[in-house]
Amino acid sequence: MNPDVTEVLALVVLLVVAVVATVAVLTRDPARQAVVLAVLGLTLALLFTVLQAPDVALSQLGVGTAITPLLIMLTLRRIRRGDAPDETGTKESAPEGEDR
C-alpha cells in the first residue's frame, strides 16, 4: 500500500479512538460505560490492524470487546441485585449478549 494512504488511515483511526475514548471517560453510568468500552476495544483492534499488528488486534478484540465488558456487566448485575432484591435469575434487563 502507498505509505501516504497508510498514514492517513492510521491518523483517521487514531482520531476515532480518541473520540470514543473521550466518550468512555464522559459516560458516567458504568453499564453504558461497559458498552462504550466494547466499542473502544473494537476501534483499538482496527487501529492495531492498520498499524500492521494483527496479533495484538486479535488479543484486543477478544479481551477488550468481549471479556472485559462482560465481566463489568456481570459485576454490576450482582451489585445492583444487592440493592433491590431481584433473584429470578432471568436475563431480562442489561444487554448481556455482549460476549460475541
The residue ranges that bind other proteins (CB under 8 A) are: 3, 6-7, 10, 54-55, 57-59, 62-63, 66-67, 70-71, 74-75, 77-78, 81-82, 87-91, 96-97, 99-100
Nearest-approach distance from CB 58 to other proteins, in angstroms: 4
Cα–Cα distance for residue pair 3/93, rounded to 1 Å: 47
Largest CA distance in the chain: 59
C-beta closer to other proteins: residue 25 or 67: 67
C-beta closer to other proteins: residue 26 or 90: 90
Torsion region of 29: left, alpha or beta (phi above 0 gives left; psi -120 to 50 gives alpha): beta
C-beta closer to other proteins: residue 32 or 91: 91
SS3 1: coil
C-beta closer to other proteins: residue 9 or 16: 9
Q: The C-alpha cell of 4 is what?
A: 501516504
Cα–Cα distance for residue pair 18/90, rounded to 1 Å: 36
Nearest-approach distance from CB 98 to other proteins, in angstroms: 9
Rg (alpha carbons) of the chain, rounded to whole number: 17
Nearest-approach distance from CB 67 to other proteins, in angstroms: 6
